[in-house]
Amino acid sequence: MKKNLIALMTVVSILASGAAVLADEIPAATIEPTADKIMNVPAQPDTPFEDRIQGDVMLISGDTPVDAPVSIPSYVSKTVTVTEIGDGRISTTVNAEDKENPENTINYTVTDDTIVLGYANGAVKDVKDIKAGDKITVYSNAYAPAPLILPPQYQADVIFVEDNLELDSLRFADVDTYLSDGETLVNAANTLALNIDKDTEIVDREGKKVEADKIANKDLAVVYMSSTKSIPAQTTPIKIVVLGDNETALKQIEAAKNEANATPAPTVTPEATTAPENTDVILKDVKSVKIGDKSIENIYFKEDQTLMVPLRSIAESLNFTVEWDGELKAVMLNSGIYSIKIGENAYVKGRMMPQQLSSAPEIKSDDLTYVPFEYFTEILEADATNSGNVVELKYSSTEAE
């Protein structure tokens, strides 16, 4: 399947979440600033990679432009609250009000190469300056491997610490590979373009000045105040920290461009886009799941009416590979691109944040693993349609190629 090949290529290169993947930054001018967004513009870490790869023009406009740029962000990011600082590790939570819940936990490893910056003006800080209770945004290279464990654990490449609460104007940040378009530098996510002027401070990791004409095709950490509503948004940055070269990202971007150029542009019609097939699926009367000619009837409803279905038989019928890890009580699909753990409502896809569904995976008396039906539509992104009391799962012709 095309979508699985894309995901597999990404995970092998990384892990081919960079989560994307993604400078996970929506231009500042496209949102309404609020107090809880003072750290950063809301990120898109949970956007499926194969959606992000189409380009933010599609995501923002809802249209399908013929010449949509290829966008493969080089970093994934998440805004979290620090719960504990350890030796080489920072434990965080995505919900400070429910920080004891392990499903909200994300652990980050820190090394001597981890850069800590402040939002106010990009001032260099130290990991030791971070303390429990701090709100931080962590950027991780999308092309770096991540262990298949829960809670999820990623490497912290750049950490932005909230230090701009007393400022009159908001500060925003972006970390990505920046490419030259001849006039400006545009990030790999195609969400931000830099107009550098004489007041922009540009330094390397050691704080040494770097000339503006030396930073194209490099990973940059950017601090800025405001941006235009264009696509990509344009800004004059306050400070740029040059992180260095990212050959893996450049090769991946070039390969994607070549593939896009070799693929005929889609025909754009003025007709309204039809609603996804899954919208009209009614599960309450379902008695079997059909994939092609195969009918699966060992399904059941929980007390809350969640439809639970056998994972292996359906996944393999959809051409996914399935592996069981008895020690971890976990199931991996497609060599770990997708993973679940029995009893934990945290469904992992690549380097994206684990997603909660209506129920955790269960093992029943038949020794089979069962997951909520929506695992196949929301995580594996199959199409679902009703026919009486039968629901059919399949991929569209373009996805199944």
Report whether pLDDT(300) > 80: yes
* pLDDT at res. 315: 94
Quick one: pLDDT band at residue 70, thresholds 50, 70, 90? Answer: low
Residue 26, pLDDT > 60, answer: no
Confidence of residue 193 (pLDDT cuts 50, 70, 90): very high
pLDDT (tens digit per residue) in 127-170: 999 999 999 999 999 888 777 788 889 999 999 998 877 676 67
pLDDT band, very low/low/confident/very high, at 28 (cuts 50, 70, 90): very low
Supply the pLDDT for residue 353. Answer: 66
Q: What is the pLDDT of residues 94-138, one digit of tens each?
A: 998 998 998 899 999 999 999 999 888 888 899 999 999 999 999
Query: What is the predicted pLDDT for the residue at 18?
Result: 38
Pick the closest to residue 72 from 114, 147, 14, 30 (CA basis): 14
Higher pLDDT, residue 370 or 28: 370
Over residues 246-255, mean pLDDT: 89
Q: Among 12-21, 211-220, 380-389, which stretch is predicted with the lowest mean pLDDT?
A: 12-21
Q: What predicted TM-score, i.e. pTM, was given to this entire model?
A: 0.54
Pick from 65-79, 126-140, 198-212, 313-327: least confident: 65-79
- The Cα–Cα gap between 365 and 372 comes to 17
State the average pLDDT for the chain.
Answer: 78
Q: What percent of the chain has pLDDT over 90?
A: 46
CA distances from 335 to 123, 136, 143, 148 (A): 41, 32, 17, 10
pLDDT for 200: 95
> What is the per-residue pLDDT across 331-357, written as a single tens digit (0 to 9) for each?
989 877 888 999 988 888 876 667 889
Confidence of residue 396 (pLDDT cuts 50, 70, 90): low
Higher local confidence (pLDDT), 67 or 240: 240
Q: Band the pLDDT of 273: cuts 50, 70, 90.
A: very low
Band of pLDDT at residue 326, cut at 50, 70 and 90: confident
The full DSSP string for 187-244 is: ETTSSEEE---TT-EEEETTS-B--GGG-TTEEEEEEES---SSSSEEE--SEEEEEE
Angle at CA of residue 69, ends 67 and 74, nearest 5°: 170
Q: Per-residue confidence at 325, pLDDT binned at 50, 70, 90?
A: confident
Which residue has tokens 């009703």?
386
Distances (CA, A) of 100 to 93, 95, 273: 8, 9, 43
Instruction: Please write the tens of the pLDDT for every residue from 221-247.
Output: 999 988 888 888 999 999 999 999 999
Residue 62 has pLDDT above 50, yes or no: no
Please report, rounded to a whole number, the percentage of residues in the chain having pLDDT higher than 70.
Answer: 74
> How many residues are listed for the chain in this entry?
401
